[in-house]
């Protein structure tokens, strides 16, 4: 009897988990299709109006509205649909937006399916898997920005003197693997004398970065170009070279990577590496704040990567002739390692 009761309890727990995942899937469909955004602009409106405003197929939109209503993202009002507080919280510009959770859930499902198929072959397709779903890639940069932009601006940037020192010299910053440019945009706003170059391998990210810099009036100081760490062109030696949650993508070639960092820095310049802090003790992975990083490490393996310990990064800096300093943030879940060229 006790076993049967435990089984019922487990099923109820998993059912709640499943419904939460489906709610995030419904939110992602609404975001990707512009349906949540259209509903926010229109106020109470029928599905036909939402479909027209979002340039969506009416049949799909009608059924999405039913699903969004079922999961509490939409409510009925004045003969139409209106966003609930929960639905509004998924809008990309909502304070503390829930958008990253919806994007990450769909990306997680995609990579989980790929990992399941590759488990026996050992194949590791690389970063190309991020572009396998056309609806996901445009949201990848905004997802990272919403997750990590506030941490950088409020916690990391004030704690590291390297940014202020570079700004006082009218310095030049390179962000390798820049995504949609969120890191450089925040630096440029905080330090008006900095000049910035973002390098990324995805055209979508370059397009988003250029568009956002122009809209913010920063295009004269924040530029973007397609490339990678092995072949980027720099107009001058850099005061700062940043890799934000990107070093693990090129760790297999770390000797080459750290030589490139060293050679592209001015004397006194610094490489600033931000990575998830992979714990030395496996038991730490069961902490609620670290659980996701354990699964993400599986997804990184699909891409040919794995997460790192800060001590590994510091050692690589030393081998390359750079002086390392390790900073821990968010109760040790995130690490920034600064390597300064003498």
Residue 127 lies inside a defined structural domain of this protein: no
CATH number where 71 lies? 1.10.10.10
**CA 44, 46, 47: angle at the middle one, nearest 5?**
125
What is the reported pLDDT for 176?
Answer: 97
Q: Please tell me the distance from the alpha carbon of residue 337 to that of residue 323, in angstroms, as a whole number.
A: 10
The pLDDT tens digits of the residues spanning 161-209 come to 999 999 999 999 999 999 999 999 999 999 999 999 999 999 999 999 9
What is the reported pLDDT for 175?
Answer: 98
Pair (226, 330) in one structural domain = yes
What is the reported pLDDT for 6?
Answer: 61
What is the reported pLDDT for 3?
Answer: 55
Pair (86, 172) in one structural domain = no
Which backbone phi and psi does 328 adopt, to 5 degrees? -105, 140
Q: Please tell me the distance from the alpha carbon of residue 161 to that of residue 330, in angstroms, as a whole number.
A: 19
Sites in the chain below the pLDDT cut of 70: 1-6
The owner of tokens 């109760």 is: 331
What is the reported pLDDT for 4?
Answer: 57
> Residue 335: which H helix or E strand, with range?
strand 334-340
Residue 20 lies inside a defined structural domain of this protein: yes
Pair (319, 205) in one structural domain = yes
Pair (273, 171) in one structural domain = yes
Pair (231, 324) in one structural domain = yes
Boundary-marking domain end, from 77, 93, 109: 93
- What residues contact residue 198 under an 8 Å CB cut-off, 6+ apart? 174, 175, 178, 181, 184, 206, 209, 222, 223, 224, 225
Pair (70, 178) in one structural domain = no
Structural domain count of the chain? 2
CA 249 to chain centre: 14
Pair (70, 188) in one structural domain = no
What is the reported pLDDT for 1?
Answer: 47
CA 78 to chain centre: 38
Boundary-marking domain end, from 75, 93, 111: 93
Q: Could you list the residue range(s) of the whole structural domain that residue 9 is in? A: 2-93
Query: Would you say 248 and 176 are in contact if contact means Cβ atoms under 8 Å apart?
Result: no
Pair (175, 307) in one structural domain = yes
Pair (174, 38) in one structural domain = no
What is the reported pLDDT for 129?
Answer: 85
Pair (191, 53) in one structural domain = no
Residue 147 lies inside a defined structural domain of this protein: no
Residue 130 lies inside a defined structural domain of this protein: no
Residue 99 lies inside a defined structural domain of this protein: no
Q: Please tell me the distance from the alpha carbon of residue 246 to that of residue 144, in angstroms, as a whole number.
A: 12
Q: Please tell me the distance from the alpha carbon of residue 156 to that of residue 162, in angstroms, as a whole number.
A: 11
Pair (55, 198) in one structural domain = no
Q: How many CB atoms lie within 10 A of CB 194?
A: 23
Boundary-marking domain end, from 72, 93, 114: 93
Pair (177, 264) in one structural domain = yes
Treating both helix axes as pointing N-terminal to C-terminal, what angle do 203-215 and 182-190 enclose, rounded to 10 degrees? 30
Residue 101 lies inside a defined structural domain of this protein: no
Q: How far apart are the first and last CA of the chain?
A: 70
Residue 153 lies inside a defined structural domain of this protein: no
Residue 105 lies inside a defined structural domain of this protein: no
CATH number where 274 lies? 3.40.50.150
């Amino acid at each position: 009897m006790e076993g049967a009761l435990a089984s019922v309890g487990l099923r109820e727990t998993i059912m709640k988990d499943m419904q939460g995942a489906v709610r995030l899937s419904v939110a992602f469909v609404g975001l990707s299709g512009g349906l949540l955004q259209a509903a926010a602009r229109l106020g109470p409106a029928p599905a036909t109006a939402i479909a027209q405003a979002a340039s969506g197929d009416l049949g799909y939109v009608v059924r999405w509205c039913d699903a969004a209503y079922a999961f509490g993202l939409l409510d009925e009002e004045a003969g139409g649909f209106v966003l609930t507080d929960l639905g509004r919280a998924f809008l990309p510009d909502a304070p503390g937006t829930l958008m990253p959770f919806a994007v990450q859930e769909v990306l997680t499902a995609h990579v989980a399916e790929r990992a399941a198929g590759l488990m026996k072959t050992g194949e590791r397709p690389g970063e190309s898997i991020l572009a396998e779903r056309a609806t996901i890639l445009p949201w990848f940069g905004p997802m990272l920005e919403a997750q990590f932009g506030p941490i950088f601006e409020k916690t990391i940037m004030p704690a590291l003197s390297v940014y202020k020192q570079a700004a006082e010299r009218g310095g030049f910053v390179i962000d390798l693997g820049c995504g949609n440019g969120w890191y450089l945009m925040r630096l440029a706003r905080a330090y008006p004398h900095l000049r910035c170059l973002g390098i990324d391998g995805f055209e979508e990210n370059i397009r988003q970065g250029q568009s956002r810099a122009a809209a913010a009036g920063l295009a004269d100081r924040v530029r973007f170009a397609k490339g990678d760490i092995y072949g980027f062109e720099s107009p001058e030696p850099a005061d700062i070279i940043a890799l934000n949650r990107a070093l693990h993508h090129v760790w297999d070639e770390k000797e080459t990577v750290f030589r490139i960092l060293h050679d592209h820095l001015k004397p006194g310049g610094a490489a600033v590496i931000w990575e998830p802090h992979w714990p030395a003790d496996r038991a730490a992975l069961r902490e609620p704040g670290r659980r996701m990083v354990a699964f993400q490490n599986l997804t990184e393996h699909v891409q040919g990567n794995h997460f790192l310990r800060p001590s590994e990064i510091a050692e690589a800096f030393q081998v390359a002739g750079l002086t390392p300093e390790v900073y821990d943030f968010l109760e040790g879940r995130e690490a920034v390692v600064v390597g300064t060229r003498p």
